[in-house]
Structure 1
Amino acid sequence: MARKNTLMKSIQANGYPIHFNENAYEALNKHLAENKYSAIFIFADSDTNEHCLPLFLPNLETDLNIEIVEFEPGESNKNIETCIELWNVLTELGADRKSLIINVGGGVVTDMGGFVASTFKRGIDFINVPTTLLAMVDASVGGKNGIDLGNLKNQIGVINVPQMVLIDTHYLATLPQNEMRSGLAEMLKHGLIFDKRYWSLFLDLNNLNTDDLDTLIYQSVEIKNTIVMQDPKENGIRKSLNFGHTLGHAIEGYFLENENKTTLLHGEAIAAGMILESYISLKRNLISEEEYEEIKTGIDAIFERIVFEEKDLQPILELLVHDKKNEYGTIQFALLDGIGNIKTGQIIDNELIVDSFLEYNS
């Protein structure tokens, strides 16, 4: 598909810049020229090594020694075992305090790569190059780096910002359809919690071209950045980003550990979480029946429904107890307060949570 050369202005996030498309490599090479790094270590999973590094490496202008460190793809490898392997590889290859890690890949690569960089020798510089739609609009903003503890998502981690984030939407051409859809979930969420007009753009995706997508990605990053800049440590408004994630993460974790279930992509689980939590918002009189129907219809047009059996509900409820957003032993929800607004710190009883699954299945 033809693409106009849309120059998108860099966005200043909390302590680092986010550069787009052609600007990105110019900024990266300038950074490499100005900082006396000892070596560059590129972290990539086997998928991004094959599909994305051939696009990335020709744009890199440096005389520094470059080592490519590859690991297995997927959420099931985002754990401390992989981190230990990566710390060992860095040590064996002679990485020091002046080394730079560049994470090229989806959210698993940037989450874990940022965590490894933040903890190796008490912290070395890293740059993130998100290559999936999900990582561009979600993992790129906010400085959250972390790994899973068993099936509990992102339980171990730090908030630490990269030197810069480079978003080049040309990488999206390497993505399968289901990965593209997965990223749309976070974009839908940004509209639902913050900007009704932005949400409404997704109600008809049929006429979307690549330039429109570039603009939607840019706006999504702007929305998330606006929220994070107000609340970097997640003490207040940043909790609004958890909409759809309280139940979504529990669903994702349950399907990840259960061998009788097909592992879900993050966005697939979050799409279900948003429908469930919209129903809870409806039952708490925070949104109207019309708004609930609009949300359901909008999400259903993009995502297939997940099949929940009765025996799935109890284990999913048990996973909620470990949600890292909980405080003082209570499960905290971020619920919609009309489309485009959010109410955080909402405590919901199990009965209503079970009702939301029954409604989802009906």
Structure 2
Amino acid sequence: MEKIVYSSQIEKDLARYLSTRKYSKLGVIADSHTVQTCYPLIQSSLPEHAVFVFDAGEIHKNLETCSQIWQWMTEQAFDRKALIINIGGGVTGDMGGFCASTYKRGIRFINIPTTLLSQVDASVGGKLGIDFMGYKNHIGVFTQPEAVIISDVFLKTLPEAELRSGYAEIIKHGLIANANYFESLKTENWASQNWKDIIEVSVGIKESVVSRDPKEEGLRKILNFGHTIGHAVESHYLDTSNHLLHGEAIAVGMLAEAFLSQKYLRLSHDELQKIESKILGVFGKVSIPEDDFDAIISLCFQDKKNEGSILNFSLLTKIGHCEYNIAVGKEEILQSLRYYNDLTT
């Protein structure tokens, strides 16, 4: 597993960490937003380094940007002793780590996640990848970063929509592994919580799962609750005017898959209502026209948990416990999307 560092003084802690490492050259990868808002918070603690900046947004998490990063690494003459720092959200960590882990068959990298989403989810666990042909994280590898340095100071740079996007993964952690944690999470005034403590609990849940199943051969699939439908919704609207943030799409997915949990694993009606109340209270509803249902269902067939033509879901038996490899039919996915559309806020 990667080393997790919780930092209260990011400049000092990063400088201290780098002073203990040996590397030939140092490179920083950031997107066009992060280089302005977050990179200045660590810049003075870095020794001589090169910086690569790419255009912000999930739409740029693709092979074309990877080619530019690999070209930059080559032009900088990075060898296999070089070290990369990925500073930014999930797109930067996923893509920067993927490029580092494939350049010259792999060079070391550390992640400094700057969004709530990347701090509790994307930067922990060694899943790296890019989108391809409109499919989320379709090309990728499992490679652990050398370290993940987490500081809640970066959360002050986020708009509320980005903070809420990360909150979806926190709610998921409670749903799949800790009912008391789920109950403790606020619906009202959710943005004013003690993020430092919440991040540590959520990372602990994810680390516990990943340590037992690093390559997602079984148990780790529970971390994908809400993601089969959620990723399909996110992918469908990715390049449209109705674009959804990751957490907004996962909120849709968790509600639809909670409905499937009641249908397949007998999640109680009372617990389904608790899930509805929590998620709708934070995220409200988005409009998903029924004309889009077939395309969304087709995208579910590209989910990485599937086996052949069998659609495998991770579903809840109760709040705090999740099962994986639950085969779900196309008609039932259609029902779950209709259920979502019929919900009232």
The reply to whether TM is greater than 0.5 is yes
Identity of aligned residues (%): 45
Q: Does 1:156 align with 2:139?
A: yes
Corresponding position: 1:217 with 2:199: yes
Aligned residue identity for 1:48: T
Residue 297 of structure 1 and its aligned partner are, at CA, apart by 0.7
- CA shift, 1:94, in A, is 1.7
Work out the CA distance in 2 between the residues paired with 1:94 and 1:343.
Answer: 47
Partner Cα distance (1:248, 1:179) in 2? 17
Structure 2 residue aligned with 1:169 = 152
**Consecutive aligned runs of 4 or more in structure 1 exceeding 6 Å deviation:** none
- Give the secondary structure class of the aligned counterpart of 2:149: strand
Does 1:135 pair with 2:121? Answer: no
Aligned residues: CA RMSD = 1.5
Describe the SS at the equivalent of 1:127: strand
Alpha-carbon distance in 1 for matches of 2:107, 2:89:
20
Aligned to 1:36, the other structure's residue is in SS state coil
Tell me, yes or no, if the aligned pair for 2:11 and 2:41 is still in contact at 8 Å.
no
- The SS at the match of 2:84 is strand
Q: How far apart are residue 205 of structure 1 and its match? A: 4.4
SS in 2 for 1:192: helix
Match of residue 111 from structure 1: 94
Shift of 1:310: 1.5
Match of 1:316 in 2: 296
Provide the C-alpha distance between the structure 2 equivalents of 1:153 and 1:344, rounded to a whole number of angstroms: 20
The 3-state SS of whatever aligns with 2:112 is: strand
> Helix, strand or coil for the counterpart of 2:161?
helix
**How do residues 193-342 of structure 1 correspond to structure 2 at under 5 angstroms?**
193-206=176-189, 209=192, 212-257=194-239, 259=240, 261-342=241-322
Looking at structure 2, the residues matched to 215 and 184 of structure 1 have their Cα atoms a distance apart, in angstroms, of 13
**Once the 2 structures are TM-superposed, how far is the Cα of residue 208 of structure 1 from its aligned partner?**
6.6
Q: In 2, Cα distance between the equivalents of 1:208 and 1:155?
A: 32
| Alignment-mate amino acid for residue 206 of structure 1 | N
Q: Please say if 1:47 is aligned against 2:33.
A: yes
Unaligned runs of at least 5 residues, structure 2: none
2:70 corresponds in structure 1 to 87
Which of 10, 18, 30 is the matching residue for 2:4? 18
Deviation, 1:29, is: 3.0
Give CA-to-partner distance per residue, 1:15-42, whole Å, 9 cap, x none.
x210012376555434422333121110
Instruction: For 1:51 and 1:23, locate their aligned partners in 2 and report how far apart those are by CA, in whole Å.
Output: 17
Kindly provide the CA deviation profile for residues 252-307 of structure 1, in whole angstroms up to 9, marking residues without a partner as x.
000014x3x41110000000000000011112242111111110110011102111
CA contact (8 A) 2:164 2:247 kept: yes
- Look up the equivalent residue of 2:112 and give its one-letter code: V
Cα distance in 1 for partners of 2:131, 2:34 equals 21
State how far apart, in whole Å, the 2-side matches of 1:124 and 1:31 are. Answer: 17
**Alignment pair present for 1:57 and 2:11:** no
- How far apart are the structure 2 equivalents of 1:315 and 1:173? 37
